[in-house]
Structure 1
Amino acid sequence: MTIKDENGDLIKNGKAFFYEEKNENYTEFSLIRNGSALFIPTIEYQNLRIKIVSESFLPEEKIIHDFKASKSYELGFQLKKDKEYAIEEVVISKRKPITVKKDTVTYNVERFADGTEVKLEDILKKLPGIEVDDSNGSIKYKGKSIETITLDGDNLFDSNYTIGSKNINFDMIDKVEAIDNYQSNPLLIKADRGDKVSLNVKLKKSILNISGSASYASGYFGNRKQAYDFGGNLITLYNNLKSFSTVQYNNLGLSGNNDFTAKDSDLKYGKTIDDIHTTASLPASRWNFNNNFIVSLNLIYKYNKNTSFKFNYNINDDKVLINEQTRNSYQTDQVNFENNSSTTITKSILKNFFSGEFNYLPSKKIRVNSVFSLDNTHDFRDGFYTFNDNENSRDLLFRQTYFKNVTNITKVFKNEDVLDFFFKLSSFRGNDNQEFSPNLQVEDLYSLQNVEAQKNVLSSYINYHKKIKKINLTQSLGFKSYDVNLESVLNENTGFNNERNNVLYKDISFFVNSNLKYNYQKWIFESRLNFEQKKIRYNNISEDWTANNFLFGNESNISYVFGGIDVLSANFEYKRKPILENYLYDNYIRTSYNSVQRNLISRDLQNATSVGLKFWHNDFENQFLINTFLNYSNERGQYFSNLNMESDLISAVYFFSPRQNNQFTHLFNLTKLIYPIKTKVKIKTFYTRSNYFNIINSDERKVQVQNFNITLGFNSAFSSKIRFENETTFGFLDYKSDVETENKSIQNKFTFVLVPINSFSFISEFYTYVPNRKEKATFNFLDVTIKFLPVKTKYSFSFSLRNLLNEKSFVNTFTTDYSQVIQAIPLLPFHFSFGGSYRF
């Protein structure tokens, strides 16, 4: 098939649509590049009608009778220039909002902007197929969490990409590319594309070698305390150097939400004493009051075309005030008591994260890559709590030092086989120290809990990638060895006196994995077999045992691509897992002022099985997206802890991990642009149903939890001078055990945007939340922002008012079969601020 214009030149870009002759709905389509179709029909047609479409040309059609996919057909198309379209194109001169090319979807961000955008995150929230979580800044593309955000193709931020999404100025951005099958190792692009997704930000060509911005905003809270929000960004672009730096500070509750860590859950260790988690279902920006300071330096230096160095250094200093009151009512078959408590705690978190990367390609067939990370965290809480009218002080200190190195050598052979070698080493040192002391009465609780944890991990493995026609085969062989040394001491004047854990946990395993991926026409089949021989040694004061286990697992996925934009896939997964190392202690550890916990360690392996079905409809050209999946999972054999509650002690142990748990999950997400009114509508539903056994005073109770949310929303056209946006979420929770609790909630967010003239905008957001309709409590928030963002100048200004209705406290109730908790949390008070920024 050859496609040319009237002058005989090849058509560079276009589309070919394939129809059954009298059917107006195309069954297949193909992109046209340089006069040729990239895809030919794969099914039989009685009368195949082929329609060729290219921008600024009139479409042309041809028919092939009794079309057979196995035959060859020679067709030639000659498109005529569309004069009317050419004239219109000269007048409008606008780029298409979305273009699709193989694995990359390119968004021309100017077509989605309404003049209110300040940072990259603001425009990402408006792009079809991309979701941004308001609570932590995490980003998903087509329902998958992105791997990273690259800047003109360079991976500056790694997995800590929120430092870029929250700080890169919108006016620097030309395009955003969403990339499927992202692969950071260029030598593996043909051998193992994987299923990762990423975003690439393309800067405007006019961006200078040194560009950036500085901003400052100041105002007052309702109590006349001064409010601040200021910072600056700097982008450096030279031939061999690219860097992005930022400094930010605020006391407006705008937490940086940057988790500067070495993302490797297999190697790192977590806290033993968990922080007190405020679990308000209200958005964190409404109640999180802090003094947040962030410094970040990210750079890549390319010594030559084959050698590069990357450097990341981040500081996050966050001080957050937690102030909440709770009323607990514990009721079980054997215990019935109540307590009242209040907590006022200041959290001070200082994180220093440093990472470096060396990348060297001595030839086109060899790559050497080495990454090292150093993470130092100092996490301190101090404050007061009142328990049944007795006031006490509390201190909690968590310190950790973590080092990791990963070295990777990749070799491509003449037959295009690839050998990928990895060597990983990490070391963790952590300390949890918690102290409670009475202020009024000597006989009240005095508690000192200290935990020391060490973990060392060494692993090495080889991946061998081979391609046989349409089959990609990866064979892995390696070993992993790690040991954990955990020591804890609990001293207090209650029934838990001198409780001690001294745990040695060693795990040595050898594994073999086989991964096969096969493409046949529109079918994609992938299966991964995992074999592992594991030896575990567990030693504590009370027991000592060794276990040898053979673990087998399988992950299989089959997909079918039809119409070029639709994918249907089914997946199955089975695996066996040993106990979790974070819960190795079997003597008591106090985790808060009214709870202790211990574990009944089981040597049994956990058997986990899941099956799922997914469907994607990704019509980016028409901005019509559907993402839905069904999943069922079942876990058996997991260790658990019992629940002990004593009315004469301020303790309630409710950590448990069910011996058996099955869960059904369904998600449906649809967004559609309605062209006549240029309005995007959204429908999102989420349903989950869990069945498990809760262990209370050593009695097993069957629990069934059902949760259903449905969200309905719409956005009017971004190009309109007056824009409306509304999103309503209905929530339904049903908890059944010995007691039954139903909770129905409603959230509604209405946004009004007025752009009377270019560069000037007025934004009003009204948020309503009813956490429990039975309680008849409604929380209303009104925020107003005025922005002046002139495109052709370097200055911008903004004025904002938040929580104009001055909601002061959020109250919610949580009920289970063993307790009812009424929680009251102070909210961020009314405040206003006026600020400006300068771009250079």
Structure 2
Amino acid sequence: MRILLLVGGFLCLLSHAFGQIRIHGNVSSTAGLPLVGCVVLVSKADSSILAYTTTDEKGWYVLEMDPDTTHVLLTINNLGFISQSRWVSAESQSLDFVLEKEPVDLKPVLVKGELLPIRVWEDTTIFTVQKFADGSERVLEDVLKKLPGIRVDENGGISFKGKPIEKILLEGDEFFSKNYHLLSKNLSAQLLGTIEAIENASDTPLLKGIERSDKTVLNVKLREDRRKVIFGTADVAAGLTQRYEVRANVFSLIDRLKLGVIGTANNTGRNPIPEVTYDLGKEENESSPVQDSNPGQVLIQKPGFTVPGVAAERFNQNRVGLGAANVTLTISPKVKMKAFTYRLGDRNPQQIINRYTYVLEQSPLIIQDTQQLETRPRLQVSQMALEYMPSTTTRWKWEGNWQTERINSAFDITSSNPAFTEQLQQKMFSRQEGMQQQLGYIHRFPGRRALTVDAYFQQQNRPQELRIRSDRFKALFPENTGEITQSIANQRQIWALQSRWMGAWGDRRKYAFNANFSDLRESLSSRLFSQAQTVENADYRNELAYRKKHGSLEAQTTLPWGKLEFFLGASVHLVQLQASGEETTFRYLNPMAGLTFRINQDTKLGAFYGRNQSQPSSTNLMNGYVLSSYRSFQRGYAGWNRLKTSYFALNFSNTDWLHQFSMHTNFTYSSEKSPYIQRVGVNDRFTFKSLIPTPFPNDSYELATDLSKYLPALQLNTIARLIAGWNSYQSMINASTLNRGAVRSLQGKLVLRTAFDGMINLEAGYEVLWSDVRETGVSLGYNRLSKPIVALKMNPSKVWFFILTSEWTRLKTDAVQNQFYFLDGLVRFLPPNRKFSLELVGKNLLNSPNATYSQLTNYLISQSTYHWCLATSCYGLIFNFK
């Protein structure tokens, strides 16, 4: 399979390159200096764009296109220079350009620049939305999928040039904190003007050019006629089997007040925000390693019901509701206030029936388990910030965060066979409450130097309660006839102080010194109760009072040398541990080094090495790492048995973001050693990703009568991806081997798309995922997921759109097998005036023939959903009703 995927990707590359013409050259100023970031466009007589690119750091450009016309118009644009256009023959050739500076007249430049599809200015790439949108887009996410260099994955994650997006700004201001899915999945596409992709972004302009940053953010700018009105959208959808979807939002960016309100609810399994991000603490400085674990011995853990390879929209149990609001108020030129809150509620009942048949000598034995699980998570988050800038070089910021999360779950199992019937009931109640107060100070000094100081206090409380009723515990607790209750309490407090001194000199040379101090206090307890009495067995009762003082100093520097860029760093740590009446202090040094070699603007080679001596965690202290007694383990771990990890990584990256082609390879080696524990792991990971796009779409949908015109209209678009991994491990104690094994994995995806004159699109794809775990030469199990997909898309005119998709998902392990067949359809009618649209959607489960592992009941759905939308405008208030 690996060879087939590689050969397929290679053939796609050859098929794309065959028959193309290549135009290249250099762009410079009248002074002879190369011009970086010039936009080079090739268009036909009807103004449709065939190809586009930008010049690199030496002013060079390369364009490749299909020769479907005899002459093309080549245009060079750059801010501050007079544009040049030249008609040339459609053949491979070399063309150089010399641009003259434009007189200082900003207004004409801005008006002219708005008509360009792409503009590049230093670290900012600006996209004009109307040049890429065709009117079928609903929300911001739909537009981002059509912009070159920007990719949106299956979960809604956004990346630019292969780098993940940190946040999305709206008119320069942050909305909904790090949860940009709230904006990308709800902001109407009809409101968008331009989208800016900003690389090497900093959280504040005071640190621009000083801070070593690899962050990328998006800034969304609205159309001029939408910036002075209150606008919003509302969607209402209903379907068979009582399915519904409701979504509404209102935005206002008038004057000093910026407001955004979003509300959504559905029971179709669609998650309005695939991943809610809320960082209550400073994970990079101090985090509790037990916040997601259950201390003590949990008798039964809640199982998760998922089917790999099946999308979340296929599940009909999810009932989710979300409300969010964001307010930004500019009180004065020096004072700004921000507030953000959201509330998320979910109800997820699921049912699975397992039926087992055992063939005996006399007669078959049938055992049936009915599993019912219902979870009701609720999350409420509030955040408020106040910024004060007494001068252009100083900023004070106070920020407060509050979070409350409750999760109630019920899990029932009824097992029956001819001999007996048993019922297990489990209920879990979990609550998390926390708050954090933070005060930050930033001052920028002359000579590109800056000082930052942050102090914060954090407090969290995480109680849990697990109730179990089952006949299985009669042997463990003979006196009990009712419920067994396990109570877990976790309280945590952190005081922390962080300070950074950073600066830059020369062109790209930067340095930074970081100092951190934190004082963590945490208490954990786990007890087991029955209706009769408290269980005194020490195996079911754990208590720990834990305190850790941690201080560190870190130095980093970046040294460019031609195309090479070196990164050096080292951190010194001092940790004082107090637990169970004992105290231990230890020190360690963690060095790090890396380099990046930039072959050209889009290709780079990098290497990194680091060594880390890990800190003891309260999870290890509670449960023990190797020794059975965590008290004796505490002394051994803190004194001698501290893990030392070495890490080495080598990576290669090539990204042509305008043509959406990327290739990434990565090799890593890591090892963990200590005087009593030796664990060596090698992880070889090869990743190949490529995307050969269809040329820029032509706005003409007229049918041709000449066969010679049909042939050039056939376009090919291919996606190939291959990820292979090999991970081997070995664990030893006192020179005695405990285990030795390897984990192998292979993931491949190949998608072939054809477009016929922009009207008919056929897509065929095949995705496979295989993994195997072997230990001491024996296979411990394997998994294989295969998914062929065929889709037909037809767009005979600008008002009609049809999609028909067939999907076959097959999941197979060494013991079980599942198969699912899906057939989906979509019909959309969008009249030229765009005042309303009508859409019919159907999602159907045709069959699941080989569900040997479980017979799914009320789990996967066959649904049809109908919804319509109407757009009206009055008194400056604009709404879209769907």
Identical counterparts, % of pairs: 20
Q: Per-residue deviation at 1:785?
A: 2.0
Give the Cα separation in 2 of the matches to 1:475 and 1:524: 19
Cα distance, 1:98–1:626 mapped onto 2, change above 3 Å: farther
Retained in 2: the 8 A contact 1:262–1:375? Answer: no
Q: Check if 1:421 corresponds to 2:462.
A: no
Once the two structures are superposed, the pairs formed by residues 142-541 of structure 1 within 5 Å of their partners are 142-207=161-226, 208-221=228-241, 226-256=242-272, 257-259=274-276, 261-262=278-279, 264=281, 265=283, 266-267=286-287, 270-273=291-294, 275-282=302-309, 283-287=311-315, 289-324=317-352, 342-386=370-414, 389-438=421-470, 446-469=483-506, 470-491=508-529, 499-539=540-580
Give the Cα separation in 2 of the matches to 1:317 and 1:15: 47
Q: Check if 1:672 corresponds to 2:709.
A: no
AA partner of residue 579 (structure 1): P
Cα distance, 1:393–1:113 mapped onto 2, change above 3 Å: same
In structure 2, what is the equivalent of residue 706 of structure 1? 744
Give the Cα separation in 1 of the matches to 2:367 and 2:615: 37
AA partner of residue 495 (structure 2): L
Cα distance, 1:555–1:96 mapped onto 2, change above 3 Å: farther
Which SS does the other structure have where 2:499 is aligned? Answer: strand
AA partner of residue 272 (structure 1): S
Counterpart pick for 2:810 among 748, 770, 779: 770
In structure 1, what is the equivalent of residue 109 of structure 2? none
Give the Cα separation in 2 of the matches to 1:482 and 1:625: 44
AA partner of residue 168 (structure 2): I
Q: CA RMSD in A?
A: 4.1
Deviations along 1:285-309, one digit per CA (max 9) or x if unpaired, are 3336211000010121112333211
Give the Cα separation in 1 of the matches to 2:764 and 2:257: 44
Retained in 1: the 8 A contact 2:820–2:847? Answer: no
Which SS does the other structure have where 2:812 is aligned? Answer: coil
Which SS does the other structure have where 1:516 is aligned? Answer: strand
Cα distance, 1:498–1:305 mapped onto 2, change above 3 Å: same
Q: Per-residue deviation at 1:568?
A: 1.8
AA partner of residue 767 (structure 1): E
Give the Cα separation in 2 of the matches to 1:790 and 1:426: 55
Deviations along 1:726-767, one digit per CA (max 9) or x if unpaired, are 432122212112531344331223332222332432222222
Which SS does the other structure have where 1:757 is aligned? Answer: coil
Retained in 2: the 8 A contact 1:765–1:783? Answer: yes
Give the Cα separation in 2 of the matches to 1:754 and 1:548: 69
Which SS does the other structure have where 1:197 is aligned? Answer: strand
AA partner of residue 478 (structure 1): N
Give the Cα separation in 1 of the matches to 2:690 and 2:382: 40
Q: Per-residue deviation at 1:551?
A: 2.6
Range 146-155 or range 677-686, more displaced: 677-686
Q: Per-residue deviation at 1:472?
A: 0.8
Range 454-463 or range 566-575, more displaced: 566-575
AA partner of residue 481 (structure 1): D
Q: Per-residue deviation at 1:811?
A: 6.1
Give the Cα separation in 2 of the matches to 1:440 and 1:633: 44
Which SS does the other structure have where 2:524 is aligned? Answer: strand
AA partner of residue 148 (structure 1): K
Q: Per-residue deviation at 1:497?
A: 7.2
Which SS does the other structure have where 1:158 is aligned? Answer: coil
Cα distance, 1:706–1:363 mapped onto 2, change above 3 Å: same
Give the Cα separation in 2 of the matches to 1:326 and 1:762: 39
In structure 1, what is the equivalent of residue 728 of structure 2? 691
Q: Per-residue deviation at 1:715?
A: 4.2
Retained in 2: the 8 A contact 1:810–1:827? Answer: no
Give the Cα separation in 1 of the matches to 2:163 and 2:595: 18
Q: Per-residue deviation at 1:165?
A: 1.6
Range 601-610 or range 391-400, more displaced: 601-610
Q: Per-residue deviation at 1:548?
A: 1.9
Retained in 2: the 8 A contact 1:113–1:718? Answer: no
Deviations along 1:235-272, one digit per CA (max 9) or x if unpaired, are 11111111221110000011233425235434466243
Give the Cα separation in 1 of the matches to 2:131 and 2:54: 25
The size of the alignment, in residue pairs, is 735
Cα distance, 1:382–1:238 mapped onto 2, change above 3 Å: same
Give the Cα separation in 1 of the matches to 2:583 and 2:435: 29
In structure 1, what is the equivalent of residue 656 of structure 2? 619
What TM-score results when the alignment is normalised by the length of structure 1?
A: 0.79
Give the Cα separation in 2 of the matches to 1:754 and 1:681: 18
AA partner of residue 264 (structure 2): Q
Cα distance, 1:284–1:78 mapped onto 2, change above 3 Å: closer
Once the two structures are superposed, the pairs formed by residues 605-684 of structure 1 within 5 Å of their partners are 605-637=642-674, 659-673=679-693, 675=695, 678-684=715-721
Give the Cα separation in 1 of the matches to 2:647 and 2:631: 29
Which SS does the other structure have where 2:463 is aligned? Answer: strand
Which SS does the other structure have where 2:201 is aligned? Answer: coil
Range 559-568 or range 427-436, more displaced: 559-568
Cα distance, 1:227–1:2 mapped onto 2, change above 3 Å: closer
Cα distance, 1:111–1:772 mapped onto 2, change above 3 Å: farther
Give the Cα separation in 2 of the matches to 1:198 and 1:599: 49
Range 492-501 or range 271-280, more displaced: 492-501
Cα distance, 1:468–1:323 mapped onto 2, change above 3 Å: same
Give the Cα separation in 2 of the matches to 1:444 and 1:802: 49
AA partner of residue 448 (structure 2): E
Q: Per-residue deviation at 1:133?
A: 3.7
Q: Per-residue deviation at 1:97?
A: 4.7
Which SS does the other structure have where 2:175 is aligned? Answer: coil
Give the Cα separation in 2 of the matches to 1:825 and 1:527: 57
Once the two structures are superposed, the pairs formed by residues 13-162 of structure 1 within 5 Å of their partners are 14=38, 31=55, 39=58, 53=76, 56-58=84-86, 77=98, 97-113=117-133, 115-135=135-155, 137-162=156-181
Cα distance, 1:528–1:387 mapped onto 2, change above 3 Å: farther
Q: Per-residue deviation at 1:664?
A: 2.6
Cα distance, 1:659–1:249 mapped onto 2, change above 3 Å: same
Which SS does the other structure have where 1:663 is aligned? Answer: strand
Retained in 2: the 8 A contact 1:260–1:353? Answer: no
Which SS does the other structure have where 1:163 is aligned? Answer: helix
Q: Per-residue deviation at 1:120?
A: 2.1
In structure 2, what is the equivalent of residue 727 of structure 1? 765
Counterpart pick for 1:837 among 844, 853, 869: 869
Cα distance, 1:238–1:387 mapped onto 2, change above 3 Å: same
Give the Cα separation in 1 of the matches to 2:576 and 2:786: 51
Give the Cα separation in 2 of the matches to 1:384 and 1:551: 50
Retained in 2: the 8 A contact 1:628–1:669? Answer: no
AA partner of residue 510 (structure 1): G
Cα distance, 1:510–1:203 mapped onto 2, change above 3 Å: same
Deviations along 1:389-417, one digit per CA (max 9) or x if unpaired, are 41121110110101112221001122331
Q: Per-residue deviation at 1:509?
A: 1.1
Which SS does the other structure have where 2:173 is aligned? Answer: coil
Deviations along 1:631-650, one digit per CA (max 9) or x if unpaired, are 2333345999xxxxxxxxxx
